[in-house]
A = this chain, B = another copy of it.
C-alpha cells in the first residue's frame, strides 16, 4: 500500500509551475528542475491535464500551465488525478464464498467490514480535501529569493 511516486512529483511540479509565473513550461524543463525522468513525468502531467488541473499547449514555446490558482487545488485533487478515485480497500465479498457462503443465507445489507474501512478512508479524503496547495506554498516560501531561483531553474 505504497502511494505512487507520481503524486510527490506532481505536487512539487504544481508548486514550481505557480512560481514560474503563468506561462507554459515544457515537461523536460520541469523534469530537470528536480532531476526526474522527463518522459515519465510527462505521463503524470498528462493525467493532471486530463483531470483539468493543467492546460497543455503544443508546439514550440508550449508546455503545461496551471488552470487555476493554488488555493483552488487540494491535495485530494492531485491524488485522485494520479492514483484514480478507486477505494484502496476493495471488498471482494468473500463472506459469500466458501462454506460460510453456502451455509448462510445471502446477506442483504452491505458488508460491515467494507463499511468500517470506507469510513476511515472517508476521513482521509476529507483531510486531503482540506489542504490546499496554497497553504503548502506558504509553509515552503522562505522569501522572494526562492521564486527567483525556481524561475532560473525552469529557464
Contacts and interface: CB of A to CB of B under 8 A. Distances in A.
Nearest to A90: B2
Interface string A15-30: 1100000000000000
Size category, A interface: 35 or more
A92 B8 contact: yes
Given A33-B100, A34-B97, 5 more contacts: A3-B90, A34-B95, A35-B94, A98-B153, A120-B131
Interface of A: 1-5, 7-9, 11-12, 15-16, 31-36, 75, 83, 86, 88-92, 94-95, 97-101, 103-104, 112-113, 115-117, 119-124, 126-128, 131, 135-136, 139-140, 146, 149-150, 152-153
